[in-house]
Amino acid sequence: MKNKTEIDLIVSEVSGLWNTYISDTMALCMLKHFMSRLKDEEILSVLKHAVDISNGHIQVITDQFNKEGFPIPDGFGDNDVDINAPRLYTDPFYIFYLVNMGQIGMNAYTLILNHIARPDMRDFFSNCIGESAELFNEAVDLLQQQGLYIKAPRLEFSKSIDYIGKQNIHSDGFLGQKRTLLGGEITSVFASLRYNIIGKGLITGFAQVARSKKVSDYFYRGRDLANKKIKILTNILIEDDIPIPSTSDSFVTDSTIAPFSDKLMLNHISMLYAAKISQDGMSLPTVMRHDLQSYYIGSIAEVSKYAEDGLDILIENKWMEQPPQIIKSENLVKS
């Protein structure tokens, strides 16, 4: 009987490994520059842990692809990072970046695991989820120790059990009095706001140093899009007298020297907005007020269009590596 770890990889396993390899080689470039310009020694151990996680993933995937006879992706490497470039971000941003890495990793690996069959691959992606959670917890602990963590507000809730007696659960003020936000809605709005604040910091730095004007202009569009969403989400919270988090203005330095290639930065933003679309999609079922539903539906459409424009620039410059693709027999005959 054939060993279960020798069964051919299925398409979801190949694509999951490929995507993980691309994202981890990208993360290593980012983390290398962060570590080369770090001033706060407390952050160093968490950055090193993130580097170890990414290196471990790359080694496992390289060994697996070699065993299966698959080509190793180019990914990102030394040509995509200049560790001697001046620091582009302040130390606190590095920890927030790690928080986002952990959050995106937990979500992405969980989605992948849902479609994995082979036991060794299930073990690998299960470990990836655990590692992402561990990295997230370490980064949040450090932010809390330094008094920097952007946490959801503590609010007073009703102490009695009740049931909805009127058809006003969807009320958003258009057809009647706008009801107050539910706890789950506050959580979703706050999570979206925090994601946009951190994303704005990242893309503002990229816009400041991009070598191509077209790429720089595209990043500034992304910054403006994040600002728009921050304003909308902030106003939603203010209307219910809910405390709002601080801005990302202190995340970016005044450097105009690029520590990363335009190829890496544009691919990074492409992945970031794919994760944003996923986050908005997961938030939509948690909100019941019509204005919030409209916001998330509109946000998905708006972000999708922005991401599509970025994809066009990647393809135009041949900066996007071809993901695993099935072979069509007619193409083989033509070859």
In this prediction, residue 245 carries a pLDDT of 67
Domain membership flag for residue 155: no
Helix locations, 172-212, DSSP H? 183-209
Spatial distance between the Cα atoms of 77 and 82, rounded to a whole number of angstroms: 10
Count how many domains the chain has: 2
Looking at residue 41, its pLDDT comes to 87
**One domain for residues 206 and 91:** no
For residue 141, which phi and psi values (nearest 5 degrees)? -55, -45
Residues 191 and 253 in one domain: yes
Smallest Cα–Cα separation from 222: which of 97, 294, 316, 307?
A: 307
Whether residue 18 is found in the same domain as residue 98: yes
Which backbone phi and psi does 329 adopt, to 5 degrees?
A: -60, -35
Q: What is the CATH number of the domain that holds 46?
A: 1.20.1260.10
Whether 264 and 81 have beta carbons less than 8 Å apart is answered as yes
Residue-wise burial string across 95-116, b where 16 or more C-beta atoms lie within 10 A, e elsewhere? bbbbbbbbbbbbbbbeebbeeb
Same-domain check for residues 125 and 219: no
Domain membership of residue 169 (yes or no) is: no
CA 274 remoteness from chain centre: 8
Q: Considering the domain boundaries, does residue 234 fall inside one?
A: yes
Rg of the chain's alpha carbons, rounded to an integer? 22
Extract the tokens encoding 285: 């079922």
158: helix, strand or coil = coil
| Tokens 């290196």 -> residue | 55
Instruction: Tell me the pLDDT of the chain averaged across its residues.
Output: 89
Do 188 and 304 fall into the same domain? yes
| Structural domain for 96, as ranges | 9-145
What is the pTM (predicted TM-score) of this model? 0.90
**166 pLDDT above the threshold of 90:** no
- Residues 214-242 have pLDDT tens digits of 999 999 999 999 999 999 999 999 998 88
Confidence of residue 173 (pLDDT cuts 50, 70, 90): very low
